[in-house]
Amino acid sequence: MEQVVNDQYFYEGDLNITRTRVYASGQVYAMANITSARKKETKPDLSWEKNLAIIGGVTLLLGILFSNAILAGLCVVFWGAAMIKFRFNSSTYSIFIKTAAGEIEIYHTKDKHEAEEVLQAFHKAFLARG
């Protein structure tokens, strides 16, 4: 097992995971009282993107139907807005811990690798506590 300085497995922002404690958003949880940790992915709602794409398709059809280049060109604006919004609308990853008091969300991020790192830190801390 790798040696961790000061038994600290993860520290970033307001989340600190050590062998004996978890400090999250001003709360302190004893590792002995945490039975499990899990990650949950929440996919974004894409209704705006779908609506913009549909509006773009309708304006393209109307532009072709009425031979109107402005309407046909407007579809590019709607499709472009839909693509930009789609590109920057990413999933959110939440980390939950389970205690005797129930399940508590202690961390969330849009970075999948960071969420995996937090979960791995919990697993290392669980192994270290014995």
Degrees (nearest 5) of the Cα angle 14, 113, 110? 65
Residue-wise pLDDT tens digits, 29-75 = 999 999 999 999 999 998 988 999 999 989 988 888 888 888 888 88
Percent with pLDDT over 70 in the chain: 95
The CATH code belonging to domain 5-43+92-129 is: 2.30.29.30
Annotated domain spans of the chain: 5-43+92-129, 47-88
Is the model's pLDDT at 109 over the cut of 50? yes
Distance of CA 105 to the CA centre of its chain: 12
- To which residue do tokens 């600190």 refer? 16
DSSP 8-state symbol, 43: P
Is the model's pLDDT at 105 over the cut of 80? yes
pLDDT for 88 equals 87
Instruction: Give this prediction's pTM.
Output: 0.74
pLDDT for 72 equals 81
